[in-house]
Amino acid sequence: MYTQTLYELSQEAERLLQLSRQQLQLLEKMPLSVPGDDAPQLALPWSQPNIAERHAMLNNELRKISRLEMVLAIVGTMKAGKSTTINAIVGTEVLPNRNRPMTALPTLIRHTPGQKEPVLHFSHVAPIDCLIQQLQQRLRDCDIKHLTDVLEIDKDMRALMQRIENGVAFEKYYLGAQPIFHCLKSLNDLVRLAKALDVDFPFSAYAAIEHIPVIEVEFVHLAGLESYPGQLTLLDTPGPNEAGQPHLQKMLNQQLARASAVLAVLDYTQLKSISDEEVREAILAVGQSVPLYVLVNKFDQQDRNSDDADQVRALISGTLMKGCITPQQIFPVSSMWGYLANRARNELANNGKLPAPEQQRWVEDFAHAALGRRWRHADLADLEHIRHAADQLWEDSLFAQPIQALLHAAYANASLYALRSAAHKLLNYAQQAREYLDFRAHGLNVACEQLRQNIHQIEESLQLFQLNQAQVSGEIKHEIELALTSANLFLRQQQDAVNAQLAALFQDDSGSLSEIRTCCETLLQTAQNTISRDFTLRFAELESTLCRVLTDVIRPIEQQVKMELSESGFRPGFHFPVFHGAVPHFNTRQLFSEVISRQDAMDEQSTRLGVVRETFSRWLNQPDWGRGNEKSPIETVDYSALQRALSAEVDLYCQQMAKVLAEQVDESVTAGMNTFFAEFASCLTELQTRLCESLALRQQNESVVRLMQQQLQQTVMTHGWIYTDAQLLRDDIQTLFTAERY
């Protein structure tokens, strides 16, 4: 029964997708625009390039429906550990991991039951072969010395250059981890080399998802599970501006728009960085149409002063992702620990022991993470101890929860995810097409003089917007200056208060070092909590003020435009942008955790062991303190030097905080304003263009106008049917999802 229902739903989805493709082809043939010198040089919605992208989207959904394939797109920056995360999800190393961008081309990783050894298929290799021929000629003509100035030439790059000079082409098939690593590393180095030699890499040739490399391998976490209808595939996407290629942002957006769900990998230590912000902006653009999940990697670097798991979920859900994701869809993890633990457990299960660290370097990483930095080679021979350590490391990685909640669920319901993706894409397409066509159809019923008046009114609105933009920019700059002045004054007050409390604390030098340490930690913890609370409130108020300023000045223009068009009978089928404040969220906890100066001193109570010894060793920055050093000379603690060091660290922190404060607030607000203004101007320009095209068509002879009216009315009606049927399809799919949970 369940299989029959899936088949019927997939047939309905395929029917709607095919009908949408036919309507899009009809739309291409309609003379909705009049060519001429005055045509705007903008990539407006429903322009030819935009229609081509919609064709690609519909074709991609058809391909996924035919295989019932759920594509989980994984996006993140290089530093976030995206490749390590994918290896942890798959359960074995399928992607190379090195300290440079490794995803210049998107790559599919498809779960294939029974395929123990990974295999890479690269059928569309012809564009790469053409590129190699171009690079071969450039390498013959270029100055190698100049090339070394603009390109880091390591052993991998040298091997690639030698390969190009010898004319060795890429294969279409690679079996095994090492050949796959070599292929993917060479592809990414090829991007760097092409940029250095000023040769265009053929990114456009790999825009279609069926042209990109595909790795087939059995996911370890899914091995032996019951088979289900459908197929689960991961999509490794290029990070924004990866390998210094800014246009990869467009490729990222295209790939995310074609996914069934999106998994973002963020760096716990860099949650508010610019690179992570670019990733967040990309996934926010598609977050409404596909399920969204977040892995917060490097959570193993959390300390007692850092945000805990609940605080991280609240920060990402509320502040960074603007409510587009619930805390239950956010998972703090350590991808490296998860990958190492799982690989060790697989080696023990399959081979009965771990390989020698000299043969496989990951074993040393595992031993360091699971056994500690004092591990010895002999420890690896204790298999029970190693097995227990691997299990504990897996538990500490926190990866079990997302594997169960995300990977297992995605595998079991891959067909439903594929169908839901198609339904949402159909709804978005039909809604946008219906609004656009309805606007154009009404434009043919409006008198030419009225259209001219509307065009003139839009032109006046554009001019008023440009004037108000300068006014708003000045007001916002003034508000930022006031906020920063107030914040810096508060920061200086806190700095003086902390230093005064430190001075009072060190007046009495009779206390033990541990007592002073505890008091200092309490003092600094209180100060950083105070600063954190104040900054949170202060910049929430700034964000509210900026939104109010923009609303007061810009929104009257929007209301005037909508009113004037409404008076002409146009329905409000267009949407002006909403300003999203991008004021950064500041976390002072981690910054305060390292204010204690390094001291080369030892306490006279050196015979005490356990927790006290560990506390003092961390305080004095001597990890081996108290171990076999009873005969060493005893040194006293210079309390005055310690106080000066603490005060200097507090002063330095406050100076750095003030600098970062000014830079990040200015950068974030400026970026947010520029985006808002550009989108608002684009919306007005699009309206003006539509009206101008309607006027040009309206001036054709009456028979042409009547024919256009009939075609548009029929197309609007058909897209209405597509939208209604897609809603029913979505509801039926959601019913199946609900039934699967019980």
Answer for the pair 599, 637: CB distance below 8 angstroms, yes or no.
yes
For residue 229, pLDDT over 50 is answered with: yes
Encoding tokens for residue 296?
């917060």
Task: Name the range with the highest mean pLDDT among 423-427, 434-438, 487-491.
Answer: 423-427
- Alpha carbons 655 and 717: distance in angstroms, whole number: 63
Q: Do 712 and 444 meet the contact criterion of CB atoms below 8 Å apart?
A: yes
Q: How far is CA 266 from CA 50, 66, 77, 332, in A?
A: 30, 33, 8, 9
The residues, any chain, with a CB within 8 Å of residue 460's CB and separated by 6 or more, are none
**8 Å CB contact between 255 and 148:** no
Backbone angles phi, psi at 453, to 5 degrees: -65, -40
Range with lowest mean pLDDT among 25-39, 128-142, 198-212, 318-332: 25-39
Angle (CA) 566 567 569, round 5°: 60
Distance from C-alpha of 410 to C-alpha of 404, rounded to nearest angstrom: 9
What DSSP character marks residue 329?
G
The pLDDT of residue 520 is 79
Model confidence band, residue 248 (pLDDT cutoffs 50, 70, 90): low
Q: What is the per-residue pLDDT across 674-700, written as a single tens digit (0 to 9) for each?
A: 778 888 888 888 888 888 888 888 887
Mean pLDDT, residues 399-413: 90
Q: pLDDT over 70 for what percent of the chain? A: 81
User: In whole angstroms, what is the distance from residue 374 CA to residue 697 CA?
Assistant: 80
Residues 135-152 pLDDT 10s: 988 888 887 777 887 788
What pLDDT score does 227 carry? 82
- DSSP, collapsed to helix, strand or coil, labels residue 445 as coil
Parse the chain into domains and list their residue ranges. 115-217, 337-397, 448-597+637-699, 600-636
Q: How confident is the model at residue 154 (pLDDT cuts 50, 70, 90)?
A: confident
Q: pLDDT by residue (tens digit) across 536-583? A: 777 778 777 877 887 787 888 888 888 888 887 776 555 666 665 544
Q: At what angle do helices 2-29 and 48-67 cross, to 10 degrees?
A: 160
How far are the Cα atoms of 96, 160, 188, 460, 568 from residue 136, in angstroms, in the given order? 26, 11, 17, 56, 62
Over range 121-126, report the average pLDDT.
Answer: 93
What CA–CA distance (Å, rounded) separates 536 from 701? 63
Q: Which has the minimum average pLDDT: 274-278, 370-374, 393-397, 523-527?
A: 274-278
> Which range is least confidently modeled, 176-185, 549-558, 724-733?
549-558
Residue 725 has a pLDDT of 96
- How would residue 322 be classed by pLDDT, with cut points 50, 70 and 90? confident
**Is the pLDDT confidence value at 37 over 60?**
no
Q: At what angle do helices 335-351 and 383-397 cross, to 10 degrees?
A: 150
| Residue in this structure with the two tokens 């619930």, named with its chain if needed | 326
Predicted confidence band of residue 115 (pLDDT cuts 50, 70, 90):
very high
What is the secondary structure of 264-306 as a DSSP string? EEEEGGGTTSHHHHHHHHHHHTTTTTS-EEEEEE-GGG--TTS
Q: Which of 505, 507, 524 is nearest to 516 (CA)?
A: 505
User: Is the pLDDT confidence value at 38 over 80?
Assistant: no
| Angle, in degrees to the nearest 10, between helices 639-698 and 448-507 | 180
Q: How many contiguous H segments (helices) and E segments (strands) does the chain have?
A: 22, 9
User: What are 261's two structure tokens?
Assistant: 């769900």
- Per the DSSP assignment, residues forming a β-bridge with 71 are 233
pLDDT score at 606: 36
How far apart, in whole angstroms, are the C-alpha atoms of residue 659 and residue 728?
Answer: 54
Instruction: Report the pLDDT value the prediction gives residue 449, as an integer from 0 to 100.
Output: 85
Q: What confidence score (pLDDT) does residue 119 get?
A: 96
124: left (phi over 0), alpha (psi -120 to 50) or beta: beta
The fold of the 448-597+637-699 domain, in CATH, is Four Helix Bundle (Hemerythrin (Met), subunit A) (1.20.120)
Here the tokens at position 77 are 């920056």
What is the Cα–Cα distance from 487 to 661, expressed in whole angstroms?
Answer: 9
* DSSP assignments along 657-694, one per residue: HHHHHHHHHHHHHHHHHHHHHHHHHHHHHHHHHHHHHH
Write out pLDDT tens, residues 504-517.
Answer: 887 766 666 677 77
**pLDDT-based confidence at 80, cuts 50/70/90?**
confident
| Phi, psi at 261, each rounded to 5° | -155, 160
The residue-averaged pLDDT of 594-616 equals: 36
pTM: 0.72
